[in-house]
Structure 1
Amino acid sequence: MTSVKPADRNFVASLQKGLEVLTCFGRQHSRLTVSEVARLTGSSPASARRSLLTLEQLGYLGSDGKRFWMLPRALLVAHAYLASRPTPSMAQPLLDALSERTRESASLGQLLDDDAIVIARSTARRSLSTGLGIGSRLPAYCSAMGRVLLAGLPPGDLPARVHAMRRLPLTPRTIHDAAQVIELVELARAEGYASNAGELEIGVRSMAVPVHDRQGQVVNAMSIAVRVERMDMAEFREAFLPMLKRARDTLEARLFPA
């Protein structure tokens, strides 16, 4: 987990610790002890315990006295973002239409620390189910969405950013060598899209394209995924890349009208 360093005396360190505790829960960490939370957040057990008990009293966490888990009140934080920002609401009908036409899952994400975080998603009836949802994080170094977002960084910043990442082989096909990752990101910058085949999950291919603001800066990435048995990469690219780009173009026009 990335810790933010205090900028000035107005920085509230206890709030930082509480938010780090709240966001350390996930699919693989659904019920956590104090010591587990301390390890995941890099804090002391005493600090983790205080944050956990405070969040429990506020109704964000439940507990049996040993383990803690998220309660529905935590959804208020995510809802506040989704309801107050235009991008997810404008993207959702476009993702729904794309997913309906292709019968595959479509997502929108943005760069968060070393990950691409999903901020909007649509899954068609016959689409694969990979457990992704709004708020899911995909490692930027080995996801199509992440590589597109990394391609939006200033070229001079890319090497240091990639070398500083924790890059693990998530599957036997994961490309995690820093030089190879940088090469793929630069290719994505040149070609205007990135692809992925089995690097995050065996049997799944994905493609992503960048979403630009009025100044041409990359602000988001839109992606689509398919099971490998449905089509090979060449067929996937030919069939779905034009539709993905059209959906992206429409979103850019709505978000940043001329």
Structure 2
Amino acid sequence: MPASIPPNKNSQTEAALPHAEDAAVDNGPLKRDLISGLEKGLQVIEAFDQERSKLTISEVAQRVGLTRAAARRYLITLAHLGYMRHEQKVFSLTPKVLRLGQSYLHSARLPRIVQPLLYKLAYALEEAASAGVLDHDELVCVAAVSAGRLVSATLQPGTRVPAFYTANGRVLLANLPQHQINAMLDRLHFEPVTVHTIVNKERLLLEIARTGAQGYAVVDQELELGLRTIAVPLRNFRGETVAAVNVSVHAARMPIVDIVERCLPALLKVQIELAALL
């Protein structure tokens, strides 16, 4: 009889790898698979925002949780790569950082699919329209059309706003598991953005529940005075919520009592059309 061939250990290892990779995806990555330098470098970029456009080495170190020496090395590296500008003792971001966001907008399928229908929606209603996705506790605009109506500076691709105070954000939150909504609210620092901002946890929960029940959200000047928005979720062919789309109007042009009647039918039409494409 021919001698039996022992199993190839390498083959067994390779066969087990897909299961290990699937487990890493399901349960989160293993620490050995993460590149801490890349993680910290991106955190250094994120340390700069609208309120803090210029930071010293010490301020970056404090915001990111680095030593001053480490923060200095990251900032010098980013400046060498063209992502950072150094003037006297402060650092600031350069326009090259926009490439990171543009890479998503140019490569992601969602903005390309949504944009043409946003044009139809905005010009049919003669109002601004935008689409957004959730990123943790924030709403990120991924596509927008103004239709000649300059309603708000926040309606631009790449802008980030608190999800709880926007119509797009609320329809997306309404489709999350309740425990996840509660966890996000527990992290939220309740601070009024305008006199209309809801800063009570119980009221926000009621608004999110109402949004889920009726299938759309209306937000009246909670993020910005004069800005009223109505939004619906965008679902793919499997019924999963992947984004939200809204219409934004100026309060002086449209009373809050008219926004549902005038804008919701057009939004629902876009919702149906996109469900077959997403």
**Fold match (TM-score > 0.5):** yes
Residues 196-248 of structure 1 show CA distances to partners (whole Å, capped at 9, x for unaligned) of: 11110111111111111233221111111111110111211111111122122
Counterpart amino acid of residue 262 in structure 2: A
Counterpart amino acid of residue 178 in structure 1: K
Select between 61-70 and 168-177 the one with higher mean Cα deviation.
61-70
Distance 1:21 1:6 in 2: 22
Equivalences for residues 83-232 of structure 1 within 5 A: 83-232=106-255
Counterpart amino acid of residue 221 in structure 2: G
Q: Contact 2:228 / 2:256 at 8 angstroms: preserved in 1?
A: yes
Q: Secondary structure at the match of 1:134?
A: coil
Residues 165-219 of structure 1 show CA distances to partners (whole Å, capped at 9, x for unaligned) of: 2232111111021111111111111010111111101111111111112332211
Residue 42 of structure 1 deviates from its aligned partner by: 4.3
Q: Contact 2:154 / 2:160 at 8 angstroms: preserved in 1?
A: no
Greater fraction helix: 2
**Residue 58 (1) aligns with residue 44 (2):** no
Q: Secondary structure at the match of 1:254?
A: coil
Kindly name which structure, 1 or 2, has the bigger radius of gyration based on alpha carbons: 2
Residue 98 of structure 1 deviates from its aligned partner by: 1.6
Distance 2:124 2:50 in 1: 29
Gaps of 5+ in 2: 1-27
Q: Contact 1:103 / 1:127 at 8 angstroms: preserved in 2?
A: no
Residues 69-96 of structure 1 show CA distances to partners (whole Å, capped at 9, x for unaligned) of: 2223222212221222110111111112
Q: Secondary structure at the match of 2:133?
A: strand
Select between 6-15 and 237-246 the one with higher mean Cα deviation.
6-15
Distance 2:235 2:65 in 1: 35
Counterpart amino acid of residue 61 in structure 2: A
Counterpart amino acid of residue 88 in structure 1: P
Q: Contact 2:152 / 2:227 at 8 angstroms: preserved in 1?
A: no
Select between 84-93 and 208-217 the one with higher mean Cα deviation.
208-217
Counterpart amino acid of residue 60 in structure 1: Y
Distance 2:187 2:171 in 1: 18
Counterpart amino acid of residue 196 in structure 1: V
Distance 1:43 1:105 in 2: 42
1:247 paired residue number: 270
Calculate the aligned-residue CA RMSD, in Å. Answer: 2.0
Distance 1:72 1:92 in 2: 24
The share of aligned pairs that are identical, in percent, is 37
Distance 2:194 2:186 in 1: 20
Gaps of 5+ in 1: none
Q: Number of matched residues?
A: 251
Residue 39 of structure 1 deviates from its aligned partner by: 4.2
Counterpart amino acid of residue 231 in structure 2: A
Distance of aligned partners of 1:247 and 1:38 in 2 relative to their CA distance in 1, 3 Å threshold: farther
Distance 1:95 1:69 in 2: 34
Q: Secondary structure at the match of 1:190?
A: helix
Q: Secondary structure at the match of 2:198?
A: coil
Q: Contact 2:217 / 2:230 at 8 angstroms: preserved in 1?
A: yes
Q: Secondary structure at the match of 1:38?
A: helix
Select between 104-113 and 16-25 the one with higher mean Cα deviation.
16-25
Q: TM-score, normalised by structure 2?
A: 0.83
Q: Secondary structure at the match of 2:169?
A: helix
Select between 98-107 and 115-124 the one with higher mean Cα deviation.
98-107
Distance of aligned partners of 1:46 and 1:147 in 2 relative to their CA distance in 1, 3 Å threshold: farther
Given candidates 8, 11, 14, the residue that maps to 2:37 is: 14
Residue 108 of structure 1 deviates from its aligned partner by: 0.9
1:238 paired residue number: 261
Q: TM-score, normalised by structure 1?
A: 0.89
